[in-house]
Amino acid sequence: MSIIVEHLSHVYGDDTTLAVKALDDINLTIPDGQFVGIIGHTGSGKSTLMQHLNGLLKGSSGHILFDGQDIYAKDYQLKDLRRQVGLVFQYPEHQLFEIDVFSDVCFGPKNLGLSKEEIEERATNALKAVGMPKEYYNQSPFDLSGGQKRRVAIAGVLAMNPKVLILDEPTAGLDPQGRQEILDLIKSLQTESKMTILLVSHSMEDVADYVDRIIVMNHGRIAFDGAPKEVFAHYKELEEMGLACPQVTYVMHDLKEKGFDVDVNATTVEEAKNSILRALRRES
């Protein structure tokens, strides 16, 4: 089980004066169970790339192999692909429509044509996974708070039992606590349910603590691809793209410049703290 993207390009508005090359020769391999952060500022092509991965958009050229099979092959069932690759859009709460929370989560599995018991079991599991208490099941989704709506919407995708979960800016518009909760929830999906996770974001700070790998997109191309530490080492180039590294990266580089022997590769506050303490101990 892996996703391989080969020479994928996508052009929007082919026949107008406003033709935009949203993706330009993308090559990627995403192995099973990896937690990948896709970073890029608005218009860098990150959302477009994600929509290709479950076949909602078709590339102008190139191939995508899912589980070794070309998804653009004639006899390939895109419905199967969409079942296995769950996509949570930006502001997913805007897609809620049912009269109560539970039926809305049931919508996905119902479309798969499962039995009633299985649909309900899946919905219950999904709602449990996102931490929605039972008393909300019969409430209208429109009466919930923003953070709760988002959990229900994510549950709606989880109920499809996807093997790969793609989330487009899942923390946009949430307060710091809500953001933390959603990110922790996503991390637990990777560690406990062994899902492959692709998290799209424009904030390095958000993803640095959670992901195994970061892919930086710029002008429809992959600018950097590697472990967070490797990517953040390019902090000057990232800044030119309009992307900020985690604040600790700046602090550590400044300290290094001032003559402290600290590890500039620290990405989390915890790592930075330890490194600074070690440096201070050595000095004294």
Give the interface with other proteins as residue ranges (CB under 8 A): 15, 17-18, 51, 54-58, 78-79, 82-83, 86-87, 89, 92, 94-97, 107-108, 111-112, 142, 156-157, 160
Which residue number, 1 or 99, has a Cβ lying nearer to other proteins?
99
Smallest distance, other proteins to C-beta of residue 172, A: 14
Quote the tokens at residue 119.
């649909």
Contact 176, 143 (CB under 8 A): no
Smallest distance, other proteins to C-beta of residue 12, A: 8
Which residue number, 56 or 251, has a Cβ lying nearer to other proteins?
56
3-state secondary structure of 76: coil
In the chain, the amino acid numbered 229 is: K
Smallest distance, other proteins to C-beta of residue 213, A: 23
Which residue number, 58 or 116, has a Cβ lying nearer to other proteins?
58
3-state secondary structure of 7: strand
Smallest distance, other proteins to C-beta of residue 217, A: 20
Beta bridge partners of 134: none
Smallest distance, other proteins to C-beta of residue 199, A: 16
Which residue number, 107 or 137, has a Cβ lying nearer to other proteins?
107
Contact 11, 20 (CB under 8 A): yes
Which residue number, 87 or 222, has a Cβ lying nearer to other proteins?
87
Alpha-carbon gap, residue 154 to 144, rounded angstroms: 14
The 3-state secondary structure of 219-277 reads: CCEEEEEECHHHHHCCHHHHHHCCCCCCHHHHHHHHHHHCCCCCCCCCCCHHHHHHHHH
Which residue number, 13 or 242, has a Cβ lying nearer to other proteins?
13
Which residue number, 70 or 230, has a Cβ lying nearer to other proteins?
70
3-state secondary structure of 191: helix
Smallest distance, other proteins to C-beta of residue 57, A: 6
Contact 198, 166 (CB under 8 A): yes
Quote the tokens at residue 74.
């004639």
**Beta carbons within 8 Å of 16's beta carbon, 6+ residues apart:** none
Rg (CA), the chain: 21
- Helix 116-129 to helix 176-193 angle (10° resolution) is 130
Beta bridge partners of 64: 5
Alpha-carbon gap, residue 1 to 195, rounded angstroms: 11
